[in-house]
Homo-oligomer: A and B are copies of this chain.
Amino acid sequence: MTEPLEEDALQLALAALPGWKLQDDKLVKRFVLGDFRQAMMFLVRLSYEAEALNHHPEIHNVYKTVDLALTTHDAGNKVTVKDVELAAAIEAFL
């Protein structure tokens, strides 16, 4: 089982992930794209990262706005290294 990140590690991860913040034990970030098509492209693009890591974000989309929330179910819905890896993978293609 992947362990929840300790507070120190969590703060370090947040420092390395611009725009991401901790909210209700989740790593969250809002992305505002150009329009709905671009929002869908973003979702499709990130879906490959999610599949590659076998770790999937919670996605909320309204038109051009995409809200992502990352947490690890089998760590009691806490943030783990899996969430940090997915956030980093998403930042890497932006």
Bound-complex Cα distance A50 to B62 (A): 12
Instruction: Report the copy number of this chain in the oligomer.
Output: 2
Tell me whether A8 is interfacial, beta carbon within 8 Å.
no
* 46-62 of chain A: CB within 8 A of chain B: 47, 50-51, 56, 58-62
Contact yes or no, A36 B59, CB < 8 A? no
* Shortest distance from the beta carbon of A52 to any chain B beta carbon, whole Å: 12
Contact yes or no, A47 B40, CB < 8 A? yes
Question: Taking CB as reference atom, which chain B residue is nearest A63?
Answer: B56
Question: Taking CB as reference atom, which chain B residue is nearest A40?
Answer: B47
A residues with a Cβ closer than 8 A to B are: 36-37, 40, 43-44, 47, 50-51, 56, 58-63
